Amino acid sequence: MAEKNLNIDWKKYYEDHKVDLAATAKAVVPGDVFWLGQASTIPYAWLEELYAHMEDYHDVTIYYNVMNQPASMVFDTETKKHFKMISAYCLPVERMAIGMNTIEPGGCTYDTLQYAPFEYGCNAIAMHVAPPDENGYCNVCAYGVTTNQIITLDPRITKRICFVDHTGVFPVPGPYETHYIHVSQMDYICELDTEPSFIPSPLPTPVDEKIASFIMPHIKPGDNVQIGFGGLGEEILRNLRKAEGTFQIYSEVACDNMQDLVEEGKITKIVASSPGSCSEKFFAFMRDDPRIELRPQQQMIDPLGCMQCDNLVSINATFQIDLLGQACSEAQGTTPFSGPGGSFAYLYGAIRAKNGRSFLCLRSTFVDHDGERHTNIHAWLPEGCIVTTPKVYVMYVVSEYGIANIYLRSLKDRIRALLKIAHPDFRQELKDKICTTALIKEDDFVDYNLFD
């Protein structure tokens, strides 16, 4: 294992440990458990090299967090005989691979991601980094900061394969201990330039617009706003532009359109753990503007850390919820779709923060492949649904039909509140169904109007 040594001639060390792509693949042995980082730090060319010679490998585990481009091995069922692949979160590549049963969705939240690979015996990393600076330090770049200190530099890692990339990754300023790895800590160094990869943010839908309209009256000047990557987050940003006062972003991810609001003076500071898939323009902004700062996961995606942030407004999405407030946020029924991610850290952190507020948002219905409409708000979650968020950590629930505050409420008060934000076509059915349980009875609805 290479250990940091600032007394050596790092340039000579670099040349002595420089190898080609084939040699990095040959460094993989049975029993290895690799962490690859996320998105652009993942060495896709290395995965292709492993795949091309997969008959030479067995008992190799590859743990990572979201691919932003495809890799051949995730679309070939034969690779399961040689590699166990686990993703902490799922985007389109993982969703397709799950359907083929070639990867496994991770079961951890982002605040426990620092432990998850080591539960499998993680002993190695393979990832892209920036070229070394004058002191021999390589920036781990925007997508590497979040887990660099807690996984990449962990002493349990005894094999580090680093791909020095001049073109495809984007350095960001920060302390050496969280944002850099020294050349002397690398066991294998491979120069491998790549093309940058960007995923545009989805546009808001009419449902996003309606949900945001219910949330905005609860956001006040000076608040620290946490939003995710997606249409609802984009709509919240659009509304912040028109809102009174200024705001800060304190979030798991930073997104493209935050830049415009910073330059307009509407957002005074962005503190995040990772890009939310950003453009090259935004990466340059992250590099050059001190009003944005990336911090590691243990500072930004931890419930006990988030609760120290006053005036924290947490806005997250879910797929389904029941009338008690139990939420399925990572799967469509029993089919994994995304992952627990960082939502719990902020849902819990916001309700414990001074003057904090937490919003869990969903569309009230969905339409299946046959054109039939179904409710996403249930009397009780359908059999097999994955409970991502326990009811006791949910504050505001928002659909396009309204907002319900269920935090610390009794079970009956939760039911009465959530019924009113269900789609009107399903409210009576839901009420009749929940009244068959011991949770609530018909006489608990005296002077209650389902449709007011």
pTM: 0.94
Position 334 scores a pLDDT of 83
Position 169 scores a pLDDT of 93
Position 196 scores a pLDDT of 86
Evaluate whether the domain defined by 206-445 bears CATH number 3.40.1080.20. Answer: yes
Position 202 scores a pLDDT of 83
Position 277 scores a pLDDT of 73
Q: Which CATH superfamily is domain 10-191 in?
A: Glutaconate Coenzyme A-transferase (3.40.1080.10)
pLDDT string in tens for the chain (452-residue length): 788 899 999 999 999 999 999 999 999 999 999 999 999 999 999 999 999 999 999 999 999 999 999 999 999 999 999 999 999 999 899 999 999 999 999 989 999 999 999 999 999 999 999 999 999 999 999 999 999 999 999 999 999 999 999 999 999 999 999 999 999 999 999 999 999 887 777 889 999 999 999 999 999 999 999 998 889 999 999 999 999 999 999 999 999 999 999 999 999 999 999 998 788 899 999 999 999 999 999 999 999 999 999 999 999 999 999 999 999 999 887 888 899 999 999 999 999 999 999 999 999 999 999 999 999 999 999 988 999 999 999 999 999 999 999 999 999 999 999 999 999 999 999 999 999 999 999 999 999 999 98
Angle at 124 between CA 146 and CA 192, to 5 degrees: 75
Position 93 scores a pLDDT of 93
What are the residue ranges spanned by the domains of the chain? 10-191, 206-445
Position 143 scores a pLDDT of 95
Position 332 scores a pLDDT of 83
Position 278 scores a pLDDT of 86
Position 90 scores a pLDDT of 92
Position 328 scores a pLDDT of 95
Position 197 scores a pLDDT of 80
Task: Tell me whether the CATH fold assigned to 10-191 matches the one assigned to 206-445.
Answer: yes
